[in-house]
Structures are given as structure tokens and as C-alpha cells.
């Protein structure tokens, strides 16, 4: 069955530090992979997506993610975190064309 695992429930980093959020997926075919961000009181916003091609994808707000088929991973990175990046981050895989399968999320806290 298709699934997404985000091993880190909660991560705290200092402002200006680098960030990596982990995501592992289980999917039989070539996956469509996504990272979403959810800020308090706001809906989900798409940060970036991977469909095919270059395994390093760039997204909004300075985020990037790397698809590694051999590790079934799609980790999200940012070189320098800003206080406004504090939010919950969800990794997702498209389970067929009509629904997204989400991980449980990683809550990011940023210390000044």
C-alpha cells in the first residue's frame, strides 16, 4: 500500500541555521511527490513538487527537495531558516491521479 513516513514529529532550529525535513515514501511506480506547508489558521500551501526529470527541485520561499529513488526519500531542505518558516510541513505522494497520501507532518519551531 502507498504510504508516506515523516520520522520527525517536531524539530526546533535556530534562525539562520540550515534545515532538513525527512520524508520516506512507499509507492510501486514512479511517484509524484509534494511538500506542503500549513501555517496556523491558514490552509495548505504547496512548496514544491517532483514529477520527473531533475531530482533536485526548487520551490517557493527558498526551499528545495531532492528525490532519491534508491532511498525512497524526498527530503526538504533550506539553507537558512527564517522565523516566519515556523509551521507544520507535510510530505505527500499522489496515490494515483485523484488523491494525495500525506505523512503525519513535522512541526517546525524556530528560535530567535
What residue ranges bind other proteins (CB under 8 A)? 4, 6, 32, 41-46, 49, 51, 90, 92, 94-105
Contact 52, 30 (CB under 8 A): yes
**CA-CA-CA-CA torsion sign (18, 81, 94, 105):** positive
Q: Considering the complex, what minimum distance in angstroms separates the CB of residue 68 from other proteins?
A: 20
Residue closer to other proteins (CB basis): 41 or 112:
41
**C-alpha span between 33 and 105 (Å, rounded):** 14
Q: Considering the complex, what minimum distance in angstroms separates the CB of residue 90 from other proteins?
A: 6
Q: Considering the complex, what minimum distance in angstroms separates the CB of residue 85 from other proteins?
A: 19
Residue closer to other proteins (CB basis): 46 or 56:
46
CB atoms within 10 A of CB 5: 14
Amino acid at each position: 500500500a502507498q504510504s508516506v513516513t515523516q520520522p520527525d514529529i517536531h524539530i526546533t532550529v535556530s534562525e539562520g541555521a540550515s534545515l532538513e525535513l525527512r520524508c520516506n515514501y512507499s509507492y510501486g511506480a514512479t511517484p509524484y511527490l509534494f511538500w506542503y506547508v500549513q501555517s496556523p489558521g491558514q490552509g495548505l500551501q504547496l512548496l514544491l513538487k517532483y514529477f520527473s526529470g531533475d531530482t533536485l527541485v526548487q520551490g517557493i520561499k527558498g526551499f528545495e527537495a531532492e528525490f532519491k529513488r534508491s532511498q525512497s526519500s524526498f527530503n526538504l531542505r533550506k539553507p537558512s531558516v527564517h522565523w516566519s518558516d515556523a509551521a507544520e510541513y507535510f510530505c505527500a505522494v499522489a496515490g494515483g491521479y485523484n488523491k494525495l497520501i500525506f505523512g503525519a507532518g513535522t512541526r517546525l519551531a524556530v528560535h530567535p
